Chain A
Amino acid sequence: MADGNGRPAMAGQDMGREVLLEVRGLKKYFPINAGILFQREVGAIKAVDGLDFFIYKGETLGLVGESGCGKSTTGRTILQLYRPTAGSVIFEGVELTTLKGSELRHMRRRMQMIFQDPYASLNPRMTVGRIIGEPLEVHKVARGKELIKRVQELLELVGLNSYFINRYPHEFSGGQRQRIGVARALALNPSFIVADEPISALDVSIQAQVVNLLQDLQKDLGLTYLFIAHDLSMVRHICDRVAVMYLGKIVELAESEELYTNPLQPYTQALLSAVPVPDPVVEKKRQRIILKGDVPSPANPPKGCNFCTRCPVAMDICFETEPPFVEVSPGHWAACHRLI
């Protein structure tokens, strides 16, 4: 039970597969400051509150959950765009949380991010060529003619015309801009990409194009994705395994088919009951579980299980102690007192 670096493997890892990324006890708290003259910390937004999971090389792990549950923060914290409050992130055998400055910048060649908003995430003052080529220049991968050639290749790789190189982002449509964002992320040949809701800002017809592009690229380049989304049917389509987040914690994680056919945790059940079924007979019988109330504030989560305030099947223990995240069946984890 040890990987190449002599660390004990996490429980439930398939020993036959290589683990690319391992996240242990990851926490990201944003401080709440108060005070007029002297700022002091009066509390914390617990955006990500103790995550344990791993991603196999070459797979797509989906991360779903409602708005504000900490999905994006998780993605950014893994890539060290936010420095974590606690926990460790081991990527390709390297502990990222203690890396600094140039060491961390060097690791950015291997891990990249596709951002949610293709309109805001490209610098409006730079040409497409500069946006995509800048990482190559900074990391001294290519320069001059070679750089231009590489940028043109990347543009063609994502299905854009190579003569777009001198245009500015505002001259493109949303789908094209997201392709530029993908090309940018791919420029340095990363092995791991966090796709932070890459399609939610696009209209449906374009969504399929971008998703197919991502899947093709994964096949051709052997990429590993952390796919953050809230479109459940899209996640089922693209992901090998899916993790469900609620209020800063992962409540259930399983192979996608297993999760969608056999959700164990009440929150997952409620979430999945909202997905329409494209079969009128089944759709008629679909019972929606309507959750009452609002998500509690991440600054002040409930004492026991985070979901206890809205759970339709909550028991006394749920209000007292936090349920452990356990492997219920092989490869299927969930956090719920009902399952123990």
Chain B
Amino acid sequence: MSGFLEAVKGVALRIADAIVRALGGTSMVKYIIRRVLAGIPVLLAITFAAFALIRAVPGGPFDFVGTKQRDERAVAALEQQFGLDKPLLIQFFNYVVNLLRGNFGPSLSRTNLGTPVSEIIAMKLPISMQVGIMAVMLGFGLGIPLGVLAAVYHNSLIDYTATFFAVLGRSIPSIVLGPVLILIFAVKLQWLPVAFWGSEPGVWIPPLNVLFSWRYISHAIMPVFTLGTGMSAGIARLTRASLLQVMRDDYIRTARAKGLPERTVIYLHALKNALIPVATIVGPLLAAVLTGTFVIELIFAIPGLGDTFVKSVSERDYNLLVGVTILYSAFLILGNILVDIMYTWLDPRIRYD
């Protein structure tokens, strides 16, 4: 029995060692741990700010029943039930204590009263994440090649065309592009469904046959395209500018003098160096789209987190709002740590220790 445990321990140690090495050595792991720990006070400050601000807004979660004013005594009773009658700092203390236990508190909205916030997030986040991940993939998958094309064929028709689409994509807001797409592809051509992603069961971690079904994809196309093109435009412009800059560097001339084929010069020598500034925007971008984008979710009636977040403000659903804010901040902090880790991979000059 003890021999078996030893073996398990050995395997576990070896896996841990491999992870440490993949991350770039013990100094890198220490750095990541430090960064995560440093994120905690930031998160706490954000939580407090959101917590205090939403309570400072006039009105409360229990003021109305439908459109009618709720009886004052009933409001007081509900507030007492959910602990909203206590002083702000006591409320905050209780909230943080619950948070440490993994409890985001109950929702205070009329429709979901008492449902744990964590349950609502667990239901909504996956939907937003699916749209977000696909949009980010589209954004980079389209933006980087477009930027490379524009830079390689600098000041040619290809460059102007790519730049034109980048400016177009950047300047058409999704609130315009979305409805136009719906009008063309859903209403006129009737190729794609108008909206209601997730109305089908099984969107959350769907079995493979559902994920790759036409029904799933058809729902995804328009929101992902609307969200992704806007992103790809910015990424294309950044890639183009960065690559043009790098192509003027001396070591590119060195690479040519070595007698390398032009393809190798561009893709091996220039592009890798040019992607460093592009990598910078990955973190914030991921955080922003993973937690849902209100406009897209509104236009395509996607029951995602962005939609929930905005509703939580108007409904004064204190707990839900603070919960989503914490989630977004955590994503942002982790996204930025991820970018810093990517830097060490992209640029050997950057070392953290």
Contact = CB atoms under 8 A, between A and B. Distances in A.
Contacts of A17: none
Interface residues of A, number: 31
A115 B250 contact: yes
Contact of B347 (A76, A79, A124): A124
Nearest to B273: A125
Contacts of B347: 124-125
Contacts of B254: 113, 115, 121-123, 181, 184
Residue of B155, B253, B254 with most chain A CB atoms under a 10 A cut-off: B254
B328 to A, nearest CB: 33
Given A125-B348, A168-B349, A170-B349, A120 B249 contact: yes
Interface string B240-284: 000000000111011111111100100001001100000000000
Contact of B258 (A107, A134, A168): A134
Given A123-B269, A138-B264, A81 B253 contact: yes
A117 interface: yes
Interface in A105-123: 105-109, 112-113, 115, 117, 120-123
A135 B258 contact: yes
A109 B349 contact: no
B261 A138 contact: yes
A219 interface: no
A203 B254 CA distance: 22
A108 B348 contact: no
A97 to B, nearest CB: 16
A124 B348 contact: yes
B260 A134 contact: yes
A124 B260 contact: no
A139 interface: yes
Nearest to B253: A81
Contacts of B259: 104-109, 135, 138-139, 188
Nearest to B276: A125
Contacts of B348: 124-125, 127, 168, 170
A79 B257 contact: yes
Interface in B211-266: 249-251, 253-261, 264
A105 B261 contact: yes
Nearest to B345: A125
Nearest to A121: B250
Given A125-B346, A125-B348, A138-B264, A108 B251 contact: no
Contacts of B255: 123, 134
Interface in A34-61: 39
B325 to A, nearest CB: 38
Contacts of A184: 254, 258
Nearest to B262: A101
Contact of A123 (B155, B251, B261): B251
Contact of B272 (A107, A112, A125, A181): A125
Nearest to B348: A168
Interface string A128-170: 0000001100110000000000000000000000000000101
Given A170-B348, A170-B349, A121 B251 contact: yes
B165 to A, nearest CB: 19
A184 B258 CA distance: 8
A138 B349 CA distance: 26
A120 B261 CA distance: 21
Interface string A190-201: 000000000000
A79 B13 CA distance: 55
A127 B264 CA distance: 16
A124 B253 contact: no
Nearest to B254: A121
Contacts of A106: 259
Nearest to B258: A135
Contacts of B346: 125
Given A125-B348, A170-B349, A138 B258 contact: yes
A30 to B, nearest CB: 14
Contacts of B253: 76, 81, 115, 121
A115 B257 CA distance: 10
B102 to A, nearest CB: 42
A54 B54 CA distance: 81
Contacts of B256: 81
Contacts of A109: 259
21 contacts: A39-B155, A79-B257, A81-B256, A105-B259, A115-B253, A115-B254, A115-B257, A122-B254, A123-B254, A123-B269, A123-B273, A124-B273, A124-B348, A125-B272, A125-B347, A135-B259, A138-B259, A170-B349, A181-B254, A184-B258, A188-B259
Interface of B: 155, 249-251, 253-261, 264, 269, 272-273, 346-349
Given A39-B155, A121-B250, 5 more contacts: A115-B250, A115-B257, A120-B249, A135-B258, A168-B348
Top 8 A-B pairs ranked by shortest CB distance?
A: A108-B259, A120-B250, A121-B250, A105-B259, A123-B251, A135-B258, A168-B348, A170-B349
